Amino acid sequence: MKVIYDRGIHLPDITLWMDSKRPRERSVISHAHADHIQSHKQIIATPATAKLFEHRVGGADAIVLDFYETKDFGDYKLTFYPAGHCLGSAQTLIEYRGSRLLYTGDFKLRAGLSCEPPEVVPCDVLITECTFGRPQYNFPEDEEVHGQLYGHIDRAFMSGLQPVVLAYSLGKSQEALKILLKGGYSVALHDSIMKIVDIYREMGVEFEGDYRALDLSDMHGMVAMMPPGARRGYSVQALDNLYTIYLSGWGMDPSARYRFRTQAVVPLSDHAGFDDLQRYVIDSGAKKVYTVYGDHYFAAHLRQAGVDASHLEEFNDRAKAQSGGKKYKAGREAAKLPGLFDFLEGETQA
């Protein structure tokens, strides 16, 4: 089956899009993060993703499938499996002419506290994200990461500072809230996070402990939690003596604290690290692997290990380069320098 990357995954043999960043007649939505959704005419999604999609984008005609429920579209069958990235996040299995193609979407293999536990899906062709597809991104064990977060918060309180946890409003914040409540902390939530917590609760996820909406007049002993973009708003600027703690897998980089302009970065990620990416490729049994969303390194690493692997942008760009010549090559060289907005958008979700 032909696989194309064009601001989304396109399977032209069955006219199916997955996570298209342009509006389409129909697209699979693997999960409801901003960089994976668009105002499509019809979506295919899990119940939780459809609910979160409606909250973030608005109504759309939706084909809603539970995990492990198979729908026959005539020339192909589609089944969702848990991805462990955020509530409702799904891997998409396409069965077509005796072959099994699996698109992971964003995923991780370590079970979290706030969403469905992930699993490896056997397949012939694998399309996998590789956001952290380099060896330096083997994340610490969860207990160590939780301990790092607790340590920063305790040091802030002991120093008379206000701890502020910065986490993307969907997925990362709900996972962090579970971790903080498990640690016995009281948490004040930014409105954008509280709204999604309410949706999680509606979908059956429980949060046991002391948490409430952010109230700047009553912050004594509270850990504030807000999305990174809120630092520019009144909610942060009205607080004194801040100690900001950014949650991101990029926290594995020694320079992350300076890049994010924060007192601390804790490597809490909702993506698979390098070791789990390798494990997925091996355990899935895939004969052909496409990588997407990271860079070319992981596909090159797989090829050196004897795996038939291509980075999707690289694979499609080669075809474009053959038809576009020098003009296209020059455009690619310019495209290697991402703008600050592109960098920050990706960072807030990793």
Residues 10, 118 within the same domain: yes
Q: Are residues 259 and 286 in the same domain?
A: no
Contact in structure between 106 and 170 (CB atoms under 8 Å): no
Residues 121 and 162 in one domain: no
Each residue's pLDDT, cut to its tens digit, for the chain (350 residues) gives 999 999 899 999 999 999 999 989 999 999 888 777 677 889 999 999 999 988 888 777 899 999 999 999 999 999 999 999 999 999 999 999 999 999 999 999 999 999 999 999 999 999 999 999 999 999 999 999 999 999 999 999 999 999 999 999 999 999 999 999 999 999 999 999 999 999 999 999 999 999 999 998 889 999 999 999 887 776 666 777 899 999 999 999 999 999 999 999 999 999 999 999 999 999 999 999 999 999 999 999 999 999 999 999 754 555 555 555 444 333 333 233 233 223 333 434 57
The pLDDT assigned to 348 comes to 44
In this structure, the answer to whether residues 49 and 112 fall within a common structural domain is yes
Q: Are residues 189 and 114 in the same domain?
A: no
Global confidence as pTM:
0.88
- Domain membership of residue 159 as a residue range: 142-266
Both 57 and 11 in one domain: the answer is yes
Question: Where residue 207 sits, what CATH number does that domain have?
Answer: 3.40.50.10890
Residues in the chain: 350
Whether residue 11 is found in the same domain as residue 126: yes
- Same domain? For 200 and 230 the reply is yes
Identify whether the C-beta of residue 292 lies closer than 8 Å to the C-beta of residue 5. yes
pLDDT of residue 63: 95
Determine the pLDDT at residue 240: 79
Residue 94 C-beta-side C-alpha neighbours within 13 Å: 28
CATH number for the domain that contains residue 35:
3.60.15.10
Q: 241, 266, 291 — which closes off a domain? A: 266
In a shared domain, residues 194 and 287: no
Q: Among the three residues 266, 288, 311, which one is the final residue of a domain in this structure? A: 266
Say which residues have a Cβ less than 8 Å from residue 119's Cβ, sequence separation at least 6.
81, 82
- 278 & 334 share domain: yes
Structural domain count of the chain: 2
Q: Are residues 239 and 335 in the same domain?
A: no
Residue 327 has a pLDDT of 40
Do residues 154 and 262 both lie within one domain? yes
Question: Which whole-number Å values give the CA distances from 48 to 80, 82, 88, 138, 180, in the listed order?
Answer: 12, 12, 5, 29, 23
